[in-house]
Structure 1
Amino acid sequence: MTQSRDAQLLTEKAQEALSAALRSGRLRDGQFLSMSQLVTMLGLPLAAVREAVKHASSQGLLVTLPKRGIRVMEARPETIRDCLDFRMALDQEGARRRIAGADLAGLDTLRRRHQDFRETALRSAAGGTPDAAIEVDLSLHDFLAAGLGNPQLASAYAANRMRIAIIQNARPFLQDRIVSAMEEHLAIIDALDNRDTGAATKAIRHHFEQTLRWWGVT
């Protein structure tokens, strides 16, 4: 029992390490590496890393190439569109459910974070770092996903969030985009605060379309 539990703990640790490498950009879109290279990178046993790769592959984060190695998901235009479209659909449904259930606690904090970050970006050419911008950006999407109140949808959102992280590392969140993204998010927050479902879903779609345009996807 202890041996089995130890193996499970190592697998969970390998999954966390692999996810961290994908989020941070240590593993980048389209990158190819052998299993032995990945084992060295993660610093964990082969068996645990193999299980982590299987899990990541089932989520579309990696592609296993028999007898060759592993390739990280490629940030192709069609992949970007699909991932953002999926997030938009979940965001819109999360907005509907939060408004219907009057479940809007924390909205004021979200607004202040976005306003502060927008003002910082407007005042300085340096603004905030791309990592900080992504953190603020994701805070609203996470808020909407949490409003779904469904563990299966939450799991699907989390997997897609990882795919978008790979895309974001391939296409950096540049300074020129920070201000407009914050303003698009603030429009969503205002619609939520006003309990206006139509305005919220429309603002979410607008954000989706602007993000596609910024990333050069038509």
Structure 2
Amino acid sequence: MPIKESRMTQSQNVQLLAVKAQQALMAALRSGQLRDGQFLSMSQLVTMLGLPLSAVREAVKHASSLGLLVTMPKRGIQVMEARPETIRDCLDFRMVLDQEGARRRIANDDLTGLGALRDRHQAFREAALRGETGNTPDGPIEVDLSLHDFLAAGLGNAQLAAAYAANRMRTAIIQNARPFLQDRIISAMEEHLAIMDALERHDADAATGAIRLHYTQTLRWWGVT
């Protein structure tokens, strides 16, 4: 193989490993394998992700730029802490994007998929009322995020979508810090259903108001005032 082609292949391999490391790190943060406030060394993270040190370092740099990790020279890495001010800022940011996403979906009459989303929320609410949602947070978090993703997708703006995606990761770390309780699952589903009711009526004021109420109730559940 010519030297030039060999170097190109090596460069591609390095980039591929960097992408894999970034994806693996994000998955670990999203799933709760890495918890809020957790402290670990770079070597521990390399072992966890099963990828080369150089690739993991690049992934850590990227995650740090998004506020997901804090790198402490000669000490290691710490996952973002779910402090009250962080919770408030992340949820407030999400609320603003949710509200604008709702306005744009209504203005564009773009509600495709809302019916299936409503059915899923109703089914999950009924399961929660019967105490059948299980003890793991995966289901409640996935359903909870599905409406927020739907609203964010209505923004139709690549830069806003990127900002939402970064905040979604911060929110995932926060949500993993405290599993949903049955009562909160029920109330959260009802708050989401109220938002969807307003969307279906094409009532932007009611939708943004319901989104704000959901934000307020979520902060209250977290004990943040």
TM-score range, shorter chain: over 0.9
Give yes or no for the alignment of 1:136 onto 2:169. no
- Counterpart in 2 of 1:36? 43
Q: Structure 1: any 5+ residue segments left out of the alignment?
A: none
Structure 2 residue aligned with 1:160, among 167, 191, 197?
167
Q: Aligned-pair distance for 1:171? A: 1.4
Structure 2 residue aligned with 1:182, among 189, 193, 215?
189
Structure 1 distance, partners of 2:128, 2:32, is: 24
- Counterpart in 2 of 1:95? 102
- The code of the aligned residue for 1:15 comes to Q
Bigger CA radius of gyration: 2
Structure 2 distance, partners of 1:203, 1:97, is: 16
Give yes or no for the alignment of 1:214 onto 2:225. no
- The code of the aligned residue for 1:170 comes to A
- The code of the aligned residue for 2:133 comes to G
- Normalised to the residue count of structure 1, the TM-score between the two structures is 0.98
CA contact (8 A) 2:102 2:154 kept: yes
Structure 2 distance, partners of 1:7, 1:67, is: 25
Structure 2 residue aligned with 1:191, among 172, 181, 198?
198
Structure 2 residue aligned with 1:27, among 30, 34, 38?
34
How well do the aligned residues superpose, as a CA RMSD in angstroms? 0.8
- Counterpart in 2 of 1:11? 18
CA contact (8 A) 2:101 2:154 kept: yes
Structure 1 distance, partners of 2:29, 2:181, is: 19
Give yes or no for the alignment of 1:77 onto 2:109. no
Structure 1 distance, partners of 2:159, 2:197, is: 28
Q: Aligned-pair distance for 1:26? A: 1.2
Give yes or no for the alignment of 1:127 onto 2:133. yes
Structure 2 residue aligned with 1:146, among 146, 150, 153?
153
Secondary structure, counterpart of 2:155 in structure 1: coil
Structure 2 distance, partners of 1:26, 1:13, is: 17
Structure 2 distance, partners of 1:214, 1:21, is: 25
Give yes or no for the alignment of 1:116 onto 2:123. yes
Q: Structure 2: any 5+ residue segments left out of the alignment?
A: 1-7
Q: Aligned-pair distance for 1:130? A: 2.1
Structure 2 distance, partners of 1:31, 1:132, is: 23
- The code of the aligned residue for 1:211 comes to T
Secondary structure, counterpart of 1:27 in structure 2: coil
**Which structure 1 residue ranges, 4+ long, deviate > 6 Å from structure 2?**
none
Structure 2 distance, partners of 1:70, 1:172, is: 24
Q: Which string of whole-angstrom CA distances, capped at 9 and with x for unpartnered residues, describes residues 61-91 of structure 1?
A: 0001011110000000000000000000000
Structure 2 distance, partners of 1:17, 1:108, is: 33
Structure 1 distance, partners of 2:179, 2:137, is: 7
Q: Aligned-pair distance for 1:127? A: 2.6
Count of matched residue pairs: 217
Secondary structure, counterpart of 2:186 in structure 1: helix
Secondary structure, counterpart of 2:169 in structure 1: helix
Q: Calculate percent identity across the aligned residue pairs.
A: 82
- The code of the aligned residue for 1:216 comes to G
